[in-house]
Each structure stands twice: as structure tokens, then as C-alpha cells.
Amino acid sequence: MSVFQLPVRAARAHSLRRRCSSPADRRKADLRDLVQAKKRISRMPSSAVALAALCWIGLCGPLGAAGPLAIQGAKIITNSGQILEEGTVLIRDGKIAALGSHVDVPGEAKVINAAGKVVMPGFVDAHNSAGMSQPNERNEVVPFLSVIDSIDPVASYFEECRRNGITTAAVVPGNSTLIGGQAAIVKTAGQYVNDMILRREAGLKLSLRPTSGSRMSQMARLRKELDKAKTALEKDEESGSGTDGEDDDNDSDKDGESDGDGDGSDQKSDDADQSKSDAGESGTGVADDGLDAMKQAVQGKLPVYIYCQTAMDVSAALKLVDDYGLKPILVLGQECHKAAKLLAERGETVILDPTLVYWKTDPRTRKDRKIILPKIYGDAGVPYVFQTADSASRTTLGSSYFWFQAATAVKYGMSQADALAALTLGPAQLLGVDSMIGSIEVGKDADLVILTGEPLDISTWVEYTIVDGEVVYDRSQDEKLDRLLSPTAE
């Protein structure tokens, strides 16, 4: 693997851009492709594969390598504890290469003069289903499905993301399927799904909201599936066959490719990737039943997004987490606030419902009460991040905007710094990708937004959105926005 640590030139060619320039996690996507290459070269030792890959990269690299880009003169909110009143960000090969008040900008660099503007890390949407078509499967247990096959790169969601400064989004199956499949973390710019992927297998989606039958049967079915995975794991251990991520279902390809264990969890999930793609290509016609994903979930290696509709679902979810050793990402419905105290004890960061503020009438006393989620969770000490209202409930005002969610939290008592973190580093940490995104630090992906002013000011707009060092949104070229803001008869 060490060959990947060598500095490589970023290839501008779309399909290669990310492969060549990405560290640790993104290598999973690389490896998957490499595995395919490997299949073609038949059973070549893994070091040779890596070597071949290096040659391949070496060949492709120089093709229109992206030149450096410098953003000068802006106020920089790094979200890693630093605010530069006037600084420069230098981007090279899609990464942040330098940051500071005095940065030497190479002569060949393209310069964006951002004097008077504010630069922030790109926003991170921790949970949405708007980037995919038909987010819910009719079958209730489909852990083998992946949103990758359903992500629509030209969905209006991604366009809105770029317009609103969201550079990374976790695309997660919907809230109406018991085990809804696997989520992926993607960048919001690209034409091919594979160009967008930051993490291919980012988590398994579970929903505790019954879609048919009762909560009892919902829970029983879920436990049955989790037990199945647990039993399979125990069987693996007994027989001593396979390593962590290796799946005994993939009997078609037992060629010792999983020998590389011990390289940390990344490597292990890479193996899972390999075994999966192997199964897919084995030609046996047997579809992956998702057992390996379930096994990884009960090992705590693959996060599980658990949608809780009500407070009782929260306690049920936490029980599941304890019983099966799951690594949860809790996606909360409105009424879950009644479990705020329980959540506070666990210290889990939660994803709030897009409707942060709503009214309720007590059914017994008829007393009207305004429920303010940021205040309730804030007072209870539960860390939280936001979602935006999806396309179905999109509004002109308010909750369709990430910045507005943060402003609302500030209105109800959150500090501005915390609110900005909840748009960036908070979700990046929750998703486990904060080594790559979420703050402006040297070495991280150059995912940035340049704002016209202070981030939570009503008159502030996104001027530029930059993903992996490329400008993917430029307000001066945004004809749709122009149309909305200059209404005339046509």
C-alpha cells in the first residue's frame, strides 16, 4: 500500500481525478477498480497489482494536471479553531497545500481575489435521500443494495448543493425500509457517480418506523437479521476461515487476497469490497445477499444509520446498539426530542429533523406549545447536526437552506462557532471522514465555499463553491439564480 503514499500528480481527467489524489479512505474505490483490473490480469500477486496501478497512474497523471489555485485576501474561517482575518488558501492537486496570512503563491497559479469575502470549508450534509431516485425499496430487508446504483449526478439536489455551498453529502436510503441498503458519501460535483465517491460503503440504513405491521414485528425482523449476521460471524471464527471482512458466501474466489489484514480497518473493509466485487463478477449468478455488510455492521466496522421516528424508537435503537455492538448514526424524527436526556447520556451526535421548529397541541390539555429542537437538544447537551428539507418539502424560505438551519440554532442559543462547525466539521466527524474534509487544513481536500459576507447574515450568498480544487459553482454564471432574482415578463 505504501506506493500510494508517494506524491502523485492529480489528473484532471474526470474519472481519474479522485483515484490519483486521494488518501486512505478513498482508496477503497480505487481498490475496487484495481480488483477488477486484477481479475483481468488473473491471479497476480497484490504487490504487482499495486505496481501496475502505479504505472497506470504515472501514465495518466500528466494529462492536463490541474494547476494551483490561490484564494487571496479573504477572511478564512478554518473551523479548526482558527480565523484568519485576511489570508490566502493555496490549492494544489485538489488539496489544500498552504494556508496563512503570508503564503507564497506560485506564478502559474490561478488567483481568485476574495478580498472582503469569507472562505469556509464546504458544508457537509450528513443524511439525505434526495440525491437518489426512489430511495425506498419495497422489500424490507435489502442490505445488499447500494445507493451508488441509484445516485443521480444531475439530480437538482446536487445542483442546489453546489449553489448553497454543500460540497459533500451522505446519500442514504430512505426512512421507510427496515434494512434499506448501503449509504455512500459523495462529493456534490461530477458527471459519473464514481467520480463523486468519497466513501463507497458508508453505512447501512435501518429504519425503526414500521411501514407494514407493528413495531413489534419490525423489531423482531430486524433482530432476526442481526442475529443471522452474528451467527455467521461466530461460525467464521469457529472454522477459522476468512478474515473479518471476508465472506464465506464468496466461495468462488478464495485466492488468499485477504492476506493483507492487520493494516487497520480501512484495509479490512477494502477486503470486503474486494470480496463483494468478486462475488459480483464470479458469474455464478448468485447475488450478494448483503450478509457481509450485516456482519460488518455487527462488528461495528460499518456504521448504521438508524432512523428513529419517535422517542421510543430512540431507546430501542440504543438497545440494539448495545446488544449488537453497532456503530450508530442516529437520524431523528421530530418527536425524538422526548428522548433528549437519554441521548445526552450517550454523547452520540445526532442528525436533527429538517423542521427545527414546530407547534404541538397537547392532546389532553389542549395547550399549544412551540417545540424548538435546537434549544431542547442544546439544553440537554446533545451534539447535533442538520439536514435540509428535501425536494418534497422544499420551501422558498427557511429550512431548505443549510445556513438558515445554523442561523436558527444560533437564534436559540447556540454559539456561532458551534453552528458553523455543525455545518462542516461536525457532520464530517459523524460520518468518519474528517481526516479528508470538514475544515480548512493543509492536506485536506480543497472543498471550500467563498461567501459574499458573514456566513449567517441574511444577505450573504455563496459566490463560489470549490470541490477538490475545482470551481464547481460560480454565482456570476448562475442563470437560474439570476432568473429568480430578476423577475420579468418573458
Binding site for another protein (CB under 8 A): 359, 361, 368, 370, 372, 375, 394-398, 404, 407-408, 410-413, 416, 456-459, 484-489
Nearer Cβ to another protein (179/421): 421
Nearer Cβ to another protein (108/490): 490
Nearer Cβ to another protein (85/368): 368
Nearer Cβ to another protein (133/395): 395
Pairing mode, if any, of strands 123-128 and 448-451? unpaired
Q: Which residues contact 328 (CB under 8 A, 6 or more apart)?
A: 303, 304, 305, 306, 317, 318, 321, 348
- Give me the least distance between CB of 11 and another protein, in Å please: 39
- Give me the least distance between CB of 415 and another protein, in Å please: 11
Q: Which residues contact 26 (CB under 8 A, 6 or more apart)?
A: 18, 19, 197, 198, 199, 436
Residue linked to cell 459519473: 192
Name residue 414's beta-bridge partners. none
Nearer Cβ to another protein (228/394): 394
Nearer Cβ to another protein (328/374): 374
Nearer Cβ to another protein (56/412): 412
Instruction: Give the whole-angstrom CA distance, residue 10 versus residue 61.
Output: 6
Instruction: Give the whole-angstrom CA distance, residue 99 versus residue 448.
Output: 13
- Give me the least distance between CB of 490 and another protein, in Å please: 8
Asked if 446 and 95 count as a contact pair (C-beta separation under 8 A), the reply is yes
- Give me the least distance between CB of 433 and another protein, in Å please: 28
Nearer Cβ to another protein (272/406): 406
- Give me the least distance between CB of 393 and another protein, in Å please: 9
- Give me the least distance between CB of 394 and another protein, in Å please: 7
Nearer Cβ to another protein (215/394): 394
Nearer Cβ to another protein (305/404): 404
Buried b (16+ CB within 10 A) or exposed e, 96-135: bbbbeeeeebeeebeebebeebbbbbbbbbbbbbbbbeeb
Nearer Cβ to another protein (346/411): 411
DSSP collapsed to 3 states, the chain: CHHHHCCCCCCCCHHHHHHHHCCHHHHHHHHHHHHHHHHHCCCCCHHHHHHHHHHHHHHHCCCCCCCCEEEEEEEEECCCCCEEEEEEEEEECCEEEEEECCCCCCCCCEEEECCCCEEEECEEEEEECCCECCCCCCCCECCCCEHHHCECCCCHHHHHHHHCCEEEEEECCCCCCCEEEEEEEEECCCCCHHHHEEEEEEEEEEECCCCCCCHHHHHHHHHHHHHHHHHHHHHHHHHCCCCCCCCCCCCCCCCCHHHHCCCCHHHHHHHHHHHHHHHHHCCCCCCCCCHHHHHHHHCCCCCEEEEECCHHHHHHHHHHHHHHCCCEEEEECHHHHHHHHHHHHHCCCEECCCCCEEEEECCCCCCEEEEEHHHHHHHHCCCEECCCCCHHHCCCCHHHCHHHHHHHHHHCCCCHHHHHHCCCHHHHHHHCCCCCCCCCCCCCECCEEEECCCCCCCCCCEEEEEECCEEEEEHHHCHHHHHHHCCCCC
- Give me the least distance between CB of 408 and another protein, in Å please: 7
Nearer Cβ to another protein (417/484): 484
Nearer Cβ to another protein (170/407): 407
